[in-house]
Structure 1
Amino acid sequence: MNTVLKAFTIAAIACFTITNVFAQANYTKITGYSVYYGTAKRFGQTWMALRKFTNNGRDYLFLVNPKTLETRTDEAKGYEVTPMTIAQTRDYFKNSPYQNAIIKAEGASVALQDAGIERGLPKETGISLTADLCPSHHPLDRRIFTDIISGFKQVETPVPIALSVSGLWMRHHQQDIAWLKQLQAKHEIYITWINHSFNHRVSAKSPLKTNFLLEPGTDINYEVLETEKAMLANGLQPSVFFRFPGLVSDQQLVYKITDFGLIPIGTDAWLAKGQQPQSGSIVLIHGNGNEPLGVNDFIKLLQSKAKLIANKQWLLYDLRETVDEEFESKK
């Protein structure tokens, strides 16, 4: 890992620690949760506001740092807030890595499957690991976490992973959430939480163009905002990333998601489908117990890279880091 990347990794871990503190508030009495754009200034730092809500009589903001993609949820009273339209806010933060990523995702919105950002920086000697937690009756596949902790414990701690979480999965997997939070508290992993919709509906019979979030009658506001509320209620800090269920979307849906201030994340290496990761790949496996083949393939990948990992020549990257660096270079 080069010096700049080392410094960024340390900063990312520090940001995670700070962000995790903000996520620990008791957000169980949320009302008025809604999209809200503007700037929020504090201590010389200008954040971009994405949401506002009230919890237990106090007003809160959900914020993103457009330079680093760090998010936090904090009381509004501590900030100098200027409301703006979505167009004004994007213009204010133009050329930031966050806005460049939004533009890139919108430019890759035509495909019916795998729209959005599919990979990070090709120069990276490693991957960004994402695991989807779709609704499932199976328990969390904990091998993913125990194996990456074991495989990287001598070279990279905490180990970064991004989890795409659905609302229904959170509702029925409280013990698994508690276990993941415990791993975070021990600084064994740090998690970027990706919005994966609330219901994650899917039909075995419907064509893709009317399936998943493209199913007629889907309330996209509910699917997005209720998932964020559920994350907060469970002590999880939402990120600015979104993964489409089934990786299925159309151009109109992509723009709806970016209007929430979220960056669609795809993949160029869905392991269970036989797609092989390259340097900088955003790898997809399912951690909900429904796709053991993909998890087995990932464990084999780790084993095959053991010597490179030991020599710090093949690492796991924070999804925020790889997207931030990719689009910082586009300025």
Structure 2
Amino acid sequence: MKRLLNYIYFLFLLLTQTEVAHAQANYLKITNYKVYYGWATHYPQDWMIIRQFENEGKNYFLLVNPQTLETRIDEPSFYKVKPLTLSEARDFFRNSPYIKAIKKAERHSVNTQDAGIENGMPKQTGISLTADLCPSHRPLDKRIFTEIISEFQKVEYPVPVALSVSGIWMKQHQQDLEWLKKMHAEHQINITWINHSYNHRVSPTLPLKNNFLLLPGTNINFEVLETEKSMLKNGLLPSVFFRFPGLVSDRQLVFKITDFGLIPVGSDAWLAKGQKPQAGSIVLIHGNGNEPVGVNDFIKLIHSKTKAIAKKEWLLYDLRESVDKEFENKSDSTAQ
């Protein structure tokens, strides 16, 4: 009973809406936040542990269901736990969609731009929508969300969307963040929160090979872990996905990200660049107000699919489910 009450209290702090943003951050005093790998089981489900932290003296894990890519926060006492090294954890769960997706991302690590997972199930009659929230002085482009709710609410409720959020955006756009959390809490949209780095540094003059997270002086541990801490302090549940700022990376950086237990997510349809979505595409638009062309193109796209949407012949897919379904029936040899 004590364990249950502690867990409920933590979730209350994590999910409670507050009128004053900095007051909410003060409720969650997350310390000793670190990468931690292990196996955790509570019959009948096995989980992979990827983070460990403390909140007001109590220990918590961030866990991943390796079959569904679902994440959760929970106390260690609820599980039988075995600490593992990264290589041991990856070997233990090697046949899972989660580890297969990580391996696919690593195989696609040679591209300077758009490394990682670029699409989901090719047989899907629809797309997975991802919207990036990079640092911006402009407000959230709410048209994205009002339009998908309007078009899909009769056939998909809540409507799935994946948001790549940067730490600076969360810090500077508390009202917009609260609006998104409200939409999620009211089950109008179902948000998968993607780590998009904390600072999202960029140079207007440097070439891509030396830009974004490849800029000299980048502290990748801070960029990844501080963003996750900010997510938790703002009542968001981190997913297992990571999106590179500018979609820019190199092979070494991709492997650094997968060493955090994260799956780099690219896109085969960045709409503002004129890329056309196909069945199963991971579509990229920017929801931070900086790319209205991409948002306009997306709105035109879903309006063109109105009849197909009504017949459930063209849908939006949860990114977790899309990636999970792509790998769940593939043999282990495929993932090597």
> Where on the TM-score scale, by shorter chain, does this alignment land: which range?
over 0.9
**C-alpha distance in structure 1 between counterparts of 2:314 and 2:269, whole Å:** 16
**C-alpha distance in structure 2 between counterparts of 1:62 and 1:129, whole Å:** 25
Q: Percent identity?
A: 69
Alpha-carbon displacement from aligned partner over 1:111-146 (angstroms, at most 9, x marks no partner): 000000000111100000000000001110000000
- Are residues 284 and 200 of structure 1, via their aligned partners in 2, closer, same or farther at CA, if it must alter by over 3 Å? same
Alpha-carbon displacement from aligned partner over 1:50-102 (angstroms, at most 9, x marks no partner): 00011111000000000000000112222221111001001110110000000
The equivalent of 1:53 in structure 2 is 53
Amino acid at match of 2:179: W
**C-alpha distance in structure 1 between counterparts of 2:41 and 2:322, whole Å:** 26
The equivalent of 2:334 in structure 1 is none
**C-alpha distance in structure 2 between counterparts of 1:310 and 1:21, whole Å:** 37
The equivalent of 1:40 in structure 2 is 40
The equivalent of 1:93 in structure 2 is 93
**C-alpha distance in structure 1 between counterparts of 2:67 and 2:38, whole Å:** 16
* Secondary structure in structure 1 of the residue aligned to 2:129: strand
**C-alpha distance in structure 1 between counterparts of 2:95 and 2:46, whole Å:** 15
List aligned pairs for 1:170-319, cutoff 5 A: 170-319=170-319
Runs of 4+ displaced beyond 6 Å: none
The equivalent of 2:8 in structure 1 is none
Are 1:141 and 2:132 an aligned pair?
Answer: no
When the two structures are superposed, what TM-score results if normalisation uses the length of structure 1?
0.92
Alpha-carbon displacement from aligned partner over 1:234-280 (angstroms, at most 9, x marks no partner): 00000000000000000000000000000000000000000000000
Amino acid at match of 1:169: W
Kept in 2: contact 1:50–1:260 (CA 8 A): yes
The equivalent of 1:326 in structure 2 is 326
- Are residues 165 and 320 of structure 1, via their aligned partners in 2, closer, same or farther at CA, if it must alter by over 3 Å? same
Alpha-carbon displacement from aligned partner over 1:264-317 (angstroms, at most 9, x marks no partner): 000000000000000000000000000000000000001100110011100000
**C-alpha distance in structure 2 between counterparts of 1:71 and 1:326, whole Å:** 18
Alpha-carbon displacement from aligned partner over 1:152-185 (angstroms, at most 9, x marks no partner): 1111110000000000000011111111111111
**Unmatched segments (≥5 aa) in structure 1:** 1-19
* Secondary structure in structure 1 of the residue aligned to 2:62: strand
Alpha-carbon displacement from aligned partner over 1:15-73 (angstroms, at most 9, x marks no partner): xxxxx889527762011000000011123211100000111110000000000000001
**C-alpha distance in structure 2 between counterparts of 1:88 and 1:295, whole Å:** 43
**C-alpha distance in structure 2 between counterparts of 1:91 and 1:153, whole Å:** 41
Amino acid at match of 1:269: A
Kept in 1: contact 2:14–2:28 (CA 8 A): no
**C-alpha distance in structure 2 between counterparts of 1:52 and 1:186, whole Å:** 30
- Are residues 273 and 21 of structure 1, via their aligned partners in 2, closer, same or farther at CA, if it must alter by over 3 Å? farther
Are 1:169 and 2:166 an aligned pair?
Answer: no
**C-alpha distance in structure 1 between counterparts of 2:172 and 2:67, whole Å:** 35
Amino acid at match of 2:243: R
The equivalent of 1:129 in structure 2 is 129
Give the C-alpha shift of residue 186 in structure 1.
Answer: 1.1
The equivalent of 1:24 in structure 2 is 15
Kept in 1: contact 2:128–2:316 (CA 8 A): yes
**C-alpha distance in structure 2 between counterparts of 1:200 and 1:234, whole Å:** 19
**C-alpha distance in structure 2 between counterparts of 1:122 and 1:104, whole Å:** 15
Q: CA RMSD in A?
A: 1.3
- Are residues 154 and 22 of structure 1, via their aligned partners in 2, closer, same or farther at CA, if it must alter by over 3 Å? farther
The equivalent of 2:116 in structure 1 is 116
Kept in 2: contact 1:22–1:73 (CA 8 A): no
Kept in 1: contact 2:13–2:28 (CA 8 A): no
**C-alpha distance in structure 2 between counterparts of 1:23 and 1:69, whole Å:** 20
Kept in 2: contact 1:134–1:165 (CA 8 A): yes
**C-alpha distance in structure 2 between counterparts of 1:278 and 1:22, whole Å:** 41
Paired residues, what number?
312
Amino acid at match of 2:52: K
